[in-house]
C-alpha cells in the first residue's frame, strides 16, 4: 500500500512540482489513512459486537463505468430498505470515527454544505447521499479511482494491479477484500439492516476474489453500448479534473496520455468480464447480466427480474418508487453535455472496431443514443 503512496508523491512532484498539491498529498494522505486504520482498530474495543455480524447473500452491482450502475444502485437504495453507505460514511468507515465526526457532519447538513461535486459534472457527489461502495478501497489504496482522484494516473508508469485486482498477489487481493468485508459488517451493525446492495463497478476486475470471500454473492452486471459508455466516461473524468481545477496545471502531453490510457482501461475491463463468461468461471446462480436498454425501456420488468434473482424482499414503498421512476424514464434529460469523441482522439468507428466483441456478445446496437440515463 505504501508503495502506491510513494508513487503518488513521485507523480505529484513530476506533474505539479513541489508546490501546494505535492505537500497536500505528502501530509494529508498518511494522516487520513492513519486516522482511518487507527479508528478501525478502536472499533474492536468499543464496538466489538460488529465482529459477530454474518453477511448473507450480498448483492454486488458491477459493470463498466457509465453503464447505469449508479442509477440502479440509487433506485434500489432510495427507500433505505437495504444496507448502503452515504458518502461521509465511506470517508469514515470506522464506527469510532463516526462518533467523533458526526457533529461536524450534522452541522454541514443543517447548513446545506454537503456538495462535493455538482450533477453538471456527470455525477453529483454529496456527503449525505448514498455513494459508490467502491470508494471504500481508497482506504487500502487499491482502486482505479486512485488513477483519477490522485496524481497517480498522470505517472509515467502504469498500474495494472489497480485495474485487474484478481491478478494481484494473494496477500494483497485478499487483504483488500477482507477490509471490504469488515466494512460491510460494520455497516450492517451501524444501520441495523441485513441485506447488502453494494455498487462496486471497478471491482468487476475483482469478481473472482469477491466470490472466494462471498460464495453466496449475487452479481448484477450492467452492460451498455460502448458507443454510449465511452464518451460518457471520458466526459465525466474530464469534468472531474475541471471541478478539481487541475486542467490548467496538467501538462497537455500528460493529459492526452491519461485519456488514451483511460480508453484502453475501459476496453480491458469489458474484455476481462467477457473472458470470464467465455470460460464459465462465474456460475449462473451468482450472475445476472442486465442490459442497460432493458433497464431504461422496461424498468418494472427489470426490477422483477432483479427481485427473482437476488431474493430481496422489497417494501411497498420501494415498489411504488420503482413504478414512479418507470413513468419518468421517457422524460429524462441529463444535466451535463457529452464531450465530442474527437477531443479525445477517438471516433465511433474506432469504438466499433475495438469493442466488436462486446457488440456481438450482448447483441448491442451501434447507434449512439443522445438521451439516456447515466
Q: Which three cell numbers stand for residue 183?
A: 466494512
Q: Does 360 score more than 80 pLDDT?
A: yes
How would residue 373 be classed by pLDDT, with cut points 50, 70 and 90? very low
State the average pLDDT over residues 175-201: 98
226, 209, 167: which is closest to 60 by C-alpha?
209
Q: Does 175 score more than 60 pLDDT?
A: yes
Q: Does 92 score more than 50 pLDDT?
A: yes
How would residue 153 be classed by pLDDT, with cut points 50, 70 and 90? very high
Q: Does 374 score more than 70 pLDDT?
A: no
Number of Cβ within 10 Å of residue 314's Cβ equals 18
Q: Does 17 score more than 50 pLDDT?
A: yes
Q: Does 97 score more than 90 pLDDT?
A: yes
State the average pLDDT over residues 48-59: 98
Q: What is the pLDDT of residue 254?
A: 96
Weakest-pLDDT range from 81-85, 121-125, 316-320, 322-326: 121-125
Domains and CATH numbers, the chain: 2-361 (3.40.50.300)
How would residue 243 be classed by pLDDT, with cut points 50, 70 and 90? confident
Q: What is the pLDDT of residue 371?
A: 39
Q: What is the pLDDT of residue 367?
A: 63
How would residue 328 be classed by pLDDT, with cut points 50, 70 and 90? confident
How would residue 66 be classed by pLDDT, with cut points 50, 70 and 90? very high
Q: What is the pLDDT of residue 372?
A: 38
How would residue 122 be classed by pLDDT, with cut points 50, 70 and 90? low
Report the predicted TM-score, pTM, of the whole model to 2 decimal places: 0.94
Q: What is the pLDDT of residue 244?
A: 82
265-295 pLDDT tens trace: 999 999 999 999 999 999 999 999 999 999 9
189-228 pLDDT tens trace: 999 999 999 999 999 999 999 999 999 999 999 999 999 9
Q: Does 343 score more than 90 pLDDT?
A: yes
Q: What is the pLDDT of residue 335?
A: 62
Q: What is the pLDDT of residue 332?
A: 64
Q: What is the pLDDT of residue 248?
A: 87
User: Which residues touch 178 (CB under 8 Å, ≥6 apart)?
Assistant: 213
Q: What is the pLDDT of residue 333?
A: 63
Q: What is the pLDDT of residue 370?
A: 42
Q: Which three cell numbers stand for residue 190?
A: 451501524
Q: Does 77 score more than 70 pLDDT?
A: yes
Amino acid at each position: 500500500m505504501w508503495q502506491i503512496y510513494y508513487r503518488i508523491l513521485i507523480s505529484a512532484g513530476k506533474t505539479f512540482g513541489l508546490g501546494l498539491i505535492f505537500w497536500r498529498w505528502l501530509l494529508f494522505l498518511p494522516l487520513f489513512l492513519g486516522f482511518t486504520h487507527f479508528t478501525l482498530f478502536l472499533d474492536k474495543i468499543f464496538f466489538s459486537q460488529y465482529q459477530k455480524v454474518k453477511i448473507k447473500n450480498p448483492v454486488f452491482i458491477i459493470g463498466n463505468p457509465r453503464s447505469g450502475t449508479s442509477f440502479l444502485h440509487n433506485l434500489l437504495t432510495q427507500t433505505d430498505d437495504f444496507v448502503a453507505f452515504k458518502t461521509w460514511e465511506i470517508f469514515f468507515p470506522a464506527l469510532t470515527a463516526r462518533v467523533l465526526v458526526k457533529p461536524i457532519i450534522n452541522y454541514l447538513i443543517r447548513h446545506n454544505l454537503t456538495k462535493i461535486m455538482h450533477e453538471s459534472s456527470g455525477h453529483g457527489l454529496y456527503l449525505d447521499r448514498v455513494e459508490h461502495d467502491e470508494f471504500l478501497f481508497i482506504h487500502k489504496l487499491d482502486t482505479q479511482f486512485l488513477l483519477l482522484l490522485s496524481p497517480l494516473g498522470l505517472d509515467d508508469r502504469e498500474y495494472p494491479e489497480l485495474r485487474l485486482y484478481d491478478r494481484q498477489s494473494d496477500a494483497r487481493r485478499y487483504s483488500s477484500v477482507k477490509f471490504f468485508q469488515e466494512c460491510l459488517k460494520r455497516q450492517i451493525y451501524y444501520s441495523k439492516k441485513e441485506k447488502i446492495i453494494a455498487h462496486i463497478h471497478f471491482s468487476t476486475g475483482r469478481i473472482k476474489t469477491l466470490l472466494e470471500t462471498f460464495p453466496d454473492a449475487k452479481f448484477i452486471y450492467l452492460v451498455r453500448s460502448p458507443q454510449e459508455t465511452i464518451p460518457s466516461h471520458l466526459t465525466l473524468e474530464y469534468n472531474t479534473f475541471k471541478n478539481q481545477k487541475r486542467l490548467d496545471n496538467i501538462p497537455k502531453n500528460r493529459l492526452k496520455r491519461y485519456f488514451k490510457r483511460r480508453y484502453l482501461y475501459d476496453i480491458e475491463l469489458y474484455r476481462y468480464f467477457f473472458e470470464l463468461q467465455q470460460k464459465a468461471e462465474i456460475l449462473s446462480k451468482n450472475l445476472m447480466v442486465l442490459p442497460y436498454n432493458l433497464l431504461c425501456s422496461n424498468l418494472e420488468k427489470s426490477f422483477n427480474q432483479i427481485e427473482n434473482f437476488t431474493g430481496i424482499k422489497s417494501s411497498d414503498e420501494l415498489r411504488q418508487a420503482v413504478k414512479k421512476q418507470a413513468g419518468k424514464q421517457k422524460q429524462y434529460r441529463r444535466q451535463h453535455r457529452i464531450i465530442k469523441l474527437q477531443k479525445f482522439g477517438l471516433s465511433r468507428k474506432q469504438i466499433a472496431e475495438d469493442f466488436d466483441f462486446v457488440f456481438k456478445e450482448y447483441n448491442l446496437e451501434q447507434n449512439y443514443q443522445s438521451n439516456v440515463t447515466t
